[in-house]
Amino acid sequence: MSSFFAKFSPFCLVLTLFLQGNRGLAQGPLTEQISPQVKASVDKALTWLLKQQQPAGYFSEQKTDKVLQRGDIPSHSAAMTSLAIMGLASVGHLPGDPTPEGMAAQRALKFVVDNVEPDENGYLGRSDRSRMYGHGIMTLMLTEMLGMSPDEATDKKVRSMVERAIKLIIRAQQVPKSEANRGGWRYEPASSDSDISVSVWQLMSLRAAKNSGIDVPKDAIDNAVAYIKRSYRGERDSHGKLKQLEAAFSYEPYGGRQTFSTTSAGLLSLQVAGQYEAPEVLGSSNWLLKFPPEINEPWFFYGCYYYAQGMYQRGGDHAATARQKTEQMLVSSQSPEGAWFPRNGNEKSAGPVYATSLALLSLSVYHHFLPIYQK
């Protein structure tokens, strides 16, 4: 797993558009839209995932009875557990719900709050060695869980962690960088370069925090959007206007690999920021119609979530095509026990908790368990 976070080439993981969505779960999921095959797949995945929860509360397929000390937790355990919490929430299970899944989510949230020790600047990614990738994932999850804690004391801890984590994201963005890298983020808060994989997590965290009523400067989001757009590979004229409406996003501005995962991340990140009709959104969604994902591609599970969510938000043929493709790939590749296993490259080292959490997030996009999935 360490190689996954240590060298995210071209990408780290996935995650989610949640923002304020789970505040409205009382409306309930539109279960009539879920096929029997997908429902059975989700149910199997939940059963498997709950079996991976360790006594300390985190999720890992590697069993251990080790007693944890605050700030000394297994590598990437908090980031992976945060993904699992969001996977559970995406199919309707929130911390404290009177179900096995709700109680598991509650224990997982308590693990993150009690065992992740932010540094003096609010940096969460040092505690489990997941760096800025994990910092963004944990910040997004904790922001989504505001008001969802089982008790007031825990909720206060969550809010404190979120507020400090958001300030860290803003400070890291303000580190002096070249024009190409300005507005983005990379491996550590002091990094002077940027890439789209790390930047998407931070941008979504900022948007989630803003929707939760936390103060986020407008220019922080605007600068992040400008950075993402610089990673779009469409040809432009002398005035900077795009000359084509079918192109990919690259891993870094003006260069790097152009894959379905980088393109899907760029697509969703601009939508998260409200850029639904930006030419880069139209062009990347058209590119994904022409070059859809295949399960053996690098960073498939990370990219699949962004693909499913971003194309759903686009609507029409884009959404219909992505739904059919996503469900076919995931249902057919699930193990009999209910897990998914990464197949390619560094993603393989991330393991089945990672892949299963992202698969849940991908399958739940179309079924409105969370209002944020509604248009």
CATH code (residue 261)? 1.50.10.20
Alpha helix segments (H runs only) across 52-123: 77-90, 100-115
Tens digit of each residue's pLDDT (9 = 90 or more) over 157-172: 999 999 999 999 999 9
Task: State the virtual CA torsion across 341, 346, 349, 354 in degrees, nearest 10.
Answer: -50
What confidence tens digit (pLDDT) does each residue in 235-264 have? Answer: 887 777 887 789 999 999 977 788 999 999
Please tell me the pTM assigned to this model. Answer: 0.89
Number of domains making up the chain: 1
Distance between CA atoms of 33 and 72, rounded to whole angstroms? 43
pLDDT in tens, 73-122: 999 999 999 999 999 999 989 998 999 999 999 999 999 999 999 999 99
Residue 252: its H or E element: strand 250-252
Q: What angle do CA 308, 140, 165 make, to 5 degrees?
A: 150
Domain that holds residue 234: 2-373
Beta-bridge mates of residue 242: 236
